[in-house]
Chain A
Amino acid sequence: MIPIGDAVDLGLILLDENGLVSFFNAWARRHARIKSNPAGKSLQEVMTGRIDPRLIMAIREALDFGFSARLSHALHPMPLPLFPNNKHGQECRIRQAVDVTPIRQGNGKRSCMIQIRDVSEVFRREQLLRQQALQLSQDIKQLTIAQEELRNSEIRFRELAKKAPAGLFETDQHGRLTYLNEKCAELLQISTPDALGSVWLDALPVGEMERVSQRWEAALQSSTRFADEFRSSAQDDRLNWLRAEAGPIWNEDRSLRGFIGTISDITEFRERADRYEFRANHDSLTGLANRERFELRLRAALSGANEIGQKAAVIYFDLDYFKAVNDTHGHAAGDTVLRTIANRARRVMRGDDLIARLGGDEFAILLPEPPDEHHMAGILNKLQQAISMSINIGSAHVNVGCSAGYAIFPDHGRTVGELLAHADTAMYREKTRKKQNPKQARA
């Protein structure tokens, strides 16, 4: 018993029926730091510190009633004054778990065995485990919160993209659609599930597709920004103008991930731009070209005619009696007269001829390919006849006439100034002639 008791790696103390030490193993002696023989002494005499009263009680119960008792470390961390093997551990007891067991002896009496386990290492491990579990649960909590936030923001952006007034799309590095919102599908007139995996340009009208494809391919090849405007096949026989803009997006390793872009309907924008351009170049009342545009076109026509050795002609005319109509019937009537004159002039002249209202009741016509000079008089005559016909202004019919003159390039001048001056002079000559001979004029 004694050598075995000394060999085990736990504390063993045997107390006789009177509670006196009969055996105290090497482990217990070492940790209790006792040098003298403890046999025959009480536990309190042997030990150099306080003993947990619960242990004393458990020993009594074992000896008197025969009950075993367990003193767990959790509830009784250090019941006996036992210390670590190192010399500096005096103040710190080792962590213990103690079992008290009665042993029946042959004489009907009981002795009591106390077993002490050092649970310091178990305690350390369990603390570590508890900390790790706590850390893990905090990590999971944070992860859950982060995931929830991510999910919310994803929902938010998906809804935003879904309801966005512009078309949004994303492609892979080969330009195949990986995402498109409702507006994009609507503008390109494709259906979302079918379109995914295809190239977004496929739905464009053939001519446009070929043109835009080249530029899109170039952007894909060079991973650079893409922007273009094109017509889309329209639902209601109306051609829509669309503008697509896209830029490359990159993976973390800087390889091309794909393109992300927008598609917007610029039909209205383009129509408005066209209107502004028209308005800048045309007279808003009659829809004829204005002075700036006329002079620009005339200059271009002259340089063209000069290059190929052709002729060009300019007709100048203003209205007779127009001021009287304005004064008698008001400005609205005057406007009606001007619009009517413009329409009649359009009908008389050829499509290539450019008719302009220079201001007030003053008009000019550019004939890029004029007839021979002796036919010019016939044209002027036709124009004057058309203009002098009665004009219905709603409340009455009015009559105006016109005085006209012309100049031919290069016969009457080589520059815009020279030609206009010549035509102007010719017109005034005509006006003067009419004033001197009103009868002929009225006829």
Chain B
Amino acid sequence: MISLNALEVDALAEIFNLSLGEASATFSEIVQEEIHLSVPSVEILSREELIGRLEAIPRNANNNKLCSIAQHFESDKGFETEALLLFPERGSLEIVRRMLGDNASMIEHLSELEQDALGEVGNIIINSCMSSLANLFTIRMNGTLPDVKTHSAREMFLAHDDSEVILVAQIGMTMRSYDITGYVLFIMDLNSMSGFMKQVRHYFRIEEGQSL
């Protein structure tokens, strides 16, 4: 299990702060509504720890599903990651329907076109975030199309190995009166993680093993 010292965690948080700030601005522009993203908190968790954390999110009693928007990124500097944006399904419905100005819909689940729209929202946020990272690290990355799914916390990680670590950046999205908490997750194996941290340290000019 990889462990980060306080300096490295601070550095990571700062990186995400910069990149998600960009994402927030892009997103606001597209939906023409002011969206506040809270300062992200960053943690590294195992799969089981994360499942436990996600299952504890308070949600609608009739709907305990999560909606995920996933994109795979590959860099030319030795790391690849699955970037995920997560919302409770109820929250994702609210985001999409608010954006589309649909207050009347009574349907409890995402329709095909709504799922597409949510894919685009996630796509913008994730692309913006990754593009900032690529800029900061001066690296090149290739990203796939967003894959939108609705499933339980455990179903979401069935395809992932338990040895993988997950970099979790938690952000709150606030749209006018709605207060929806979303999560940005980066799933990496250990190799990718160390490749990624190398870039972070490089950016902040931290020596390996250096601590406060």
Contact = CB atoms under 8 A, between A and B. Distances in A.
Interface string A105-137: 000000000000001001100100110011011
Nearest to A133: B106
Given A68-B143, A70-B146, A102-B142, A126 B111 contact: yes
Interface string A37-61: 0000000000000000010000001
Nearest to B127: A67
Contact of B113 (A70, A71, A74): A74
A136 B120 CA distance: 30
B131 A67 contact: yes
Contacts of B113: 72-74, 97, 119, 122-123, 126
A433 to B, nearest CB: 114
A25 interface: no
Interface string B114-126: 1011111001100
Contact of A66 (B117, B119, B141): B141
A429 interface: no
A74 B99 CA distance: 9
A123 B117 CA distance: 13
Interface in A142-168: none
B108 to A, nearest CB: 10
A71 B142 contact: no
Contacts of B120: 69-72, 74-76
A101 interface: yes
A68 B123 contact: yes
A75 B117 contact: yes
Contact of B143 (A67, A74, A123): A67
A67 B144 CA distance: 7
Contact of A61 (B100, B106, B118, B131): B131
B145 to A, nearest CB: 4
A65 B140 CA distance: 7
A17 to B, nearest CB: 14
Contacts of A119: 112-113, 116
Given A101-B145, A126-B112, A133-B107, A74 B127 contact: no
B142 to A, nearest CB: 4
B145 A70 contact: yes
Query: Most B CB atoms within 10 A — which of A54, A65, A72?
Result: A72
Nearest to B97: A74
Interface in B86-134: 96, 99-100, 102, 104-107, 111-114, 116-120, 123-124, 127, 130-131, 134
B134 A65 contact: yes
A124 to B, nearest CB: 11
A123 B116 CA distance: 12
Contacts of B114: 74
Contacts of B99: 74-75
A104 B142 contact: yes
Contacts of A73: 113, 116-117
Interface of A: 54, 61, 65-76, 97, 99, 101-102, 104, 119, 122-123, 126, 129-130, 133-134, 136-137
10 contacts: A65-B131, A66-B140, A66-B141, A67-B142, A69-B124, A69-B145, A72-B119, A74-B96, A75-B120, A119-B116
Interface of B: 30-31, 71, 96, 99-100, 102, 104-107, 111-114, 116-120, 123-124, 127, 130-131, 134, 140-146
Given A68-B71, A72-B113, A99-B145, 5 more contacts: A67-B141, A69-B120, A69-B127, A72-B117, A73-B117
